Amino acid sequence: MQSKKQVKLYKYYTKMAKELTTRKENYSQWYNDLVVKADLAEQSAVRGCMVIKPYGYAIWEFMHDALDKMFKETGHVNAYFPLFIPKSFFSREADHVEGFAKECAVVTHHRLMNDPNGNGVVVDPSAKLEEELIVRPTSETIIWDTYRNWVKSYRDLPILCNQWANVVRWEMRTRLFLRTAEFLWQEGHTAHATMEEAEAEAKKMLGVYTDFAEKWLAIPVYQGVKSANERFAGALNTYCIEAMMQDGKALQAGTSHFLGQNFAKAFDVKFLNKENKLEYVWATSWGVSTRLMGALIMSHSDDDGLVLPPKIAPIQVVIVPIYKNDEEKALTFARCEDMKQQLVNAGLRVKFDDRDTQKPGFKFHEWELKGVPVRLVVGPRDVTNNTVEVARRDTMTKESASYEGIVEKVMGLMDEIQVNLYQKALKYRNDNTYDVNTWDEFKDQIEKGGFVHAFWDGTTETELKIKEETKATLRFIPLDVKEEEGVDVYSGKPAKMRVYFAKAY
RNA sequence: CGGGAUGUAGCGCAGCCCGGUAGCGCGCUUCGUUCGGGACGAAGAGGCCGCAAGUUCGAAUCUUGUCAUCCCGACCA
């Protein structure tokens, strides 16, 4: 632990205005610095709430668009439900209230008035709401109350709705993207005639999330089922994808819940089946949030800044000209413009940094900080020799390439970088997943970080004891878990399977 | 919500102990020279010191309260 004085001195000598804290020095500080300095988000005037800045929002938009397309390809449609939920709805499903009650924002009044004492505006006491409203922390209750009217017959099923929305969970301790009081997400809510169909839906969407995380974000994930203790409030089963961050902590990147008939019973959603019998419908819900931004940042970025997978990079290629007089400027600009056009025609997102006000070196650092996958540099010498300097962000290497065929070269790099980032993250994840058989090893490894794969006796009691003693939580039971004989790493009782533990975000 | 720390110019900080109305670096503006890895010089602009009370002739400085942020815990996606 560094003293305050040392930190101050360090910041002074390294010109904090420009440079990042390194991961080794202070991982969480590195993350905080990076989010702000790469222009992704900043603190707002409202406690726990963030402003997502244009560059950060652009990344979220790519996530949104890719996911939205995948949802639609799997038969889902978008809809929108209210931000406010009547308080009484919340109490219908016992576990659900229990899970969210402690972090709800409540609307009690609907009008302000001038303070009679002259201190600005105050809440008008006469405008108290008959029934208080909860700002949604999730929408199951309002949606199931609505679905009741939509479902009469088996012919009305399934309902496959998704909504893109903001939700509010009044968190004690917040961090940009990872945990904010208000965040953006999508929540899918589906209704089915049979249990099998609902279970299949929950698993299908977990598959969609897995595909998205791995193919678009280049984040390898484990697929699993949550233990009873970690389950979503009101669900019978919670499926999850879990990723490993560079500091060895796990991050839940997406969840998909099989809700059984809990919400149907709570909100009386019944349908007549083919046998003309009244039945409760079966439900799922699934979601990913702006938390994925945190996962993305912590999976690939380094001490020089953000590293973005080409598929979701708002700018995939940046072109920087080098010149020292008007003649050279004209020469390099013409080449840059031409090259940009070719790249844009090929479908790439290209930025030509034609600012006259910054030097090339400055621009290099800036675009590296912002994680642009490929940088192309054109100076007078390049124009003469018909070359381009090509630098890649993921490896921080550069080479001279011929101008002819630069489009193919860059297109190839997009794929190569995307794959490389995934492979690198996969290797890191695998290298930090350990089979452990004794309690001492367990404690030791959890302390060092990573996923610990160990035998568990299946009881919540043991799970909680482990959490208490090591801060590690049972992250998931692998989806494809195989039964094997063993003894619980903590309790020594007979165990039938190995599960994954880790410290988590 | 408990423990610790911090709020002074856009950013990073000094000044506070020992009250007398604010300073440094970066950034910003203008001009000139520069430009193949964060340029240099000169001249400028910018802050009622988080907010609110109190003590005092006088508060960035002392007291109390409050809000916010960060770190550590509990809780959680």
A289-304 confidence digits (pLDDT tens):
999 999 999 999 999 9
Cα gap A113→A190, rounded to integer Å: 43
Cα gap A378→A146, rounded to integer Å: 59
Query: Would the ipTM clear 0.85, i.e. be above it?
Result: yes
pLDDT of residue A118: 65
Most confident residue range from A91-100, A119-128, A478-487: A478-487
A15 within some domain:
no
Cα gap A199→A192, rounded to integer Å: 9
Nearest residue by alpha-carbon distance to C1' of B11? A17
Structure tokens at A20: 């990042």
Q: Is the pLDDT of residue A184 over 90?
A: yes
Q: Is the pLDDT of residue A116 over 90?
A: no
Arithmetic mean of pLDDT, A238-251: 95
Q: Which nucleotide is nearest to A397 (CA to C1')?
A: B37
Residue A452 belongs to a domain with what CATH number?
3.30.110.30
A462 within some domain:
yes
pLDDT > 90 fraction of chain A, expressed in percent and rounded:
79
User: Could you tell me if A343 and A222 lie in one domain?
Assistant: no
User: Could you tell me if A69 and A153 lie in one domain?
Assistant: yes
Q: Which nucleotide is nearest to A387 (CA to C1')?
A: B36
A450 within some domain:
yes
Tens of pLDDT along A205-239? 999 999 999 999 999 999 999 999 999 989 999 99
Domain that holds residue A367: 315-412
Cα gap A12→A282, rounded to integer Å: 60
pLDDT of residue A377: 98
Long-range (24+ apart) CB contacts under 8 A made by A54-62 are A55/A314, A55/A370, A56/A293, A58/A314, A59/A293, A59/A296, A59/A308, A59/A312, A59/A313, A59/A314, A60/A184, A60/A290, A60/A293, A62/A216, A62/A311, A62/A312, A62/A314
User: Could you tell me if A156 and A226 lie in one domain?
Assistant: yes
pLDDT of residue A102: 84
Phi first, then psi, for residue A243 (nearest 5°) are -120, 160
Nearest residue by alpha-carbon distance to C1' of B39? A359
**3-state secondary structure (DSSP) of residue A296:** helix
User: Could you tell me if A294 and A330 lie in one domain?
Assistant: no
A19 within some domain:
no
Question: Length of chain A, please?
Answer: 505
User: Could you tell me if A206 and A296 lie in one domain?
Assistant: yes
Beta carbons of A463 and A499 less than 8 angstroms apart: no
Phi first, then psi, for residue A133 (nearest 5°) are -110, 140
Å between A1 CA and B6 C1'? Answer: 17
Beta carbons of A378 and A321 less than 8 angstroms apart: yes
CB atoms within 10 A of CB A439: 17
pLDDT of residue A163: 97
Nearest residue by alpha-carbon distance to C1' of B2? A172
Q: What is the DSSP letter of A118?
A: S
Q: Which nucleotide is nearest to A398 (CA to C1')?
A: B37
Res. A15 pLDDT band, cuts 50 70 90: very low
Tens of pLDDT along A377-393? 999 999 999 999 999 99
CB atoms within 10 A of CB A431: 10
Tens of pLDDT along A256-272? 999 999 999 999 999 99
User: Could you tell me if A145 and A171 lie in one domain?
Assistant: yes
**3-state secondary structure (DSSP) of residue A436:** coil
Q: Which range, of A2-6, A173-177, A270-274, A400-404, averages the lowest pLDDT?
A: A2-6
Arithmetic mean of pLDDT, A327-343: 96
Q: Which nucleotide is nearest to A230 (CA to C1')?
A: B76
Structure tokens at A167: 């939700």
For residue A40, the one-letter residue type is L
pLDDT of residue A13: 40
Beta carbons of A497 and A481 less than 8 angstroms apart: yes
Cα gap A110→A133, rounded to integer Å: 10
Residue A283 belongs to a domain with what CATH number?
3.30.930.10
pTM of the model: 0.94
CB atoms within 10 A of CB A63: 21
A154 within some domain:
yes
Q: Is the pLDDT of residue A359 over 70?
A: yes
Q: Is the pLDDT of residue A405 over 90?
A: yes
CA angle A207, A211, A215 (to 5 degrees): 175
User: Could you tell me if A115 and A262 lie in one domain?
Assistant: yes
User: Could you tell me if A152 and A286 lie in one domain?
Assistant: yes
Beta carbons of A242 and A284 less than 8 angstroms apart: no
Query: In DSSP terms, which residues pair with A252 in a beta bridge?
Result: A242
User: Could you tell me if A319 and A296 lie in one domain?
Assistant: no
pLDDT of residue A7: 37
Q: Which nucleotide is nearest to A1 (CA to C1')?
A: B71
For residue A78, the one-letter residue type is N
**Number of domains present in the structure of chain A:** 3
Q: Where a domain ends, among A356, A377, A412?
A: A412
pLDDT of residue A9: 38
A349 within some domain:
yes
Beta carbons of A131 and A87 less than 8 angstroms apart: yes
Res. A6 pLDDT band, cuts 50 70 90: very low
Å between A36 CA and B11 C1'? Answer: 11
Pairing verdict, β A182-192 and A317-321: unpaired
For residue A377, the one-letter residue type is V
Nucleotides of B under 7 A from a protein CB: 1-2, 5-6, 10-14, 25-28, 34-39, 67-77
Q: Is the pLDDT of residue A144 over 70?
A: yes
A406 within some domain:
yes
pLDDT of residue A43: 83
> Nearest Cα to A294, choosing from A20, A24, A28, A25?
A28
pLDDT of residue A2: 29
User: Could you tell me if A179 and A70 lie in one domain?
Assistant: yes
Q: Which nucleotide is nearest to A226 (CA to C1')?
A: B77
User: Could you tell me if A296 and A358 lie in one domain?
Assistant: no
Å between A359 CA and B14 C1'? Answer: 31
A216 within some domain:
yes
Residue in this structure with the two tokens 């977990």, named with its chain if needed: A206
Å between A471 CA and B3 C1'? Answer: 18
Give the DSSP per-residue string, A309-343. -GGG-S-SEEEEE--SSHHHHHHHHHHHHHHHHHH
Structure tokens at A460: 């919540």
Give the DSSP per-residue string, A201-232. HHHHHHHHHHHIIIIIS----EEEE--GGGS-
Structure tokens at A296: 């993305």
Residue A394 belongs to a domain with what CATH number?
3.40.50.800
User: Could you tell me if A284 and A370 lie in one domain?
Assistant: no
Alpha carbon A29 to chain centroid distance? 19
Nearest residue by alpha-carbon distance to C1' of B68? A47
Q: Is the pLDDT of residue A11 over 80?
A: no
